[in-house]
Amino acid sequence: MKRIFSIFFIPFFLFGGEIILPKSFSANFTQIITNQQKEKIIYKGKILYSSPSNLKWSYTSPTKKDVCSNKEEILIVDHDLEQVSAYMIDNGFDLLEIIKKAKPVRPTVYNAVYKEHIYTLQVNQRNELSRVAYKDEVDNSVLIIFENIHSKNQPLHPKDMQCMYPVDYDIIEE
């Protein structure tokens, strides 16, 4: 399950040829995962980002779950299963290194090689990150599409970044 979360630390924007990380943003996302047999699963939801590395992915389809991360640990709240899972990230993801390694390949497309993975980043007409594509550790093709992006010049309130859940959910810690 940890392999899916590496992408959670990629949201950023491109301005004037430099990739920078805004203080905060929100966006709708579609995540398409395609396995080697060309079978697809499509997730939809909303993402919140707040500096320095806080992310909250709220999945709405096909399952309802929230994933909160601060670069050191991940909390997954699966509302369908009424279960909460907590994981430490043992191989941290360095967003600044990906930014440093991103090289233009076309006017709106960039590639970055990070920890043996190639990330393809695409920006829209407003120079906002609109797509991220990569292959995960089990050779699934992953495409994340960001839409309706709203950025701010200040971090979000920490409470907005928390995954909330009822006290009667089962808790699993690893």
Q: Kindly state whether residue 73 falls inside one of the protein's structural domains.
A: yes
Q: What is the CATH number of the domain that holds 94?
A: 2.50.20.10
Count of domains observed in the chain: 1
Token pair 């920078």 is found at 20
pTM score, two decimals?
Answer: 0.81
Q: Kindly state whether residue 109 falls inside one of the protein's structural domains.
A: yes
Residue 19 pLDDT? 52
Residue 41 pLDDT? 97
Q: Which residues sit opposite 35 in a β-bridge?
A: none
Q: What is the pLDDT of residues 78-132, one digit of tens each?
A: 999 999 999 887 655 455 566 668 888 988 888 989 888 898 888 887 777 788 8
Which is higher by pLDDT, 149 or 95? 149
Is the pLDDT at 13 greater than 60? The verdict is no
Residue 86 pLDDT? 92
Is the pLDDT at 1 greater than 50? The verdict is no
Which is higher by pLDDT, 107 or 161? 161
What is the domain extent for residue 84? 2-164
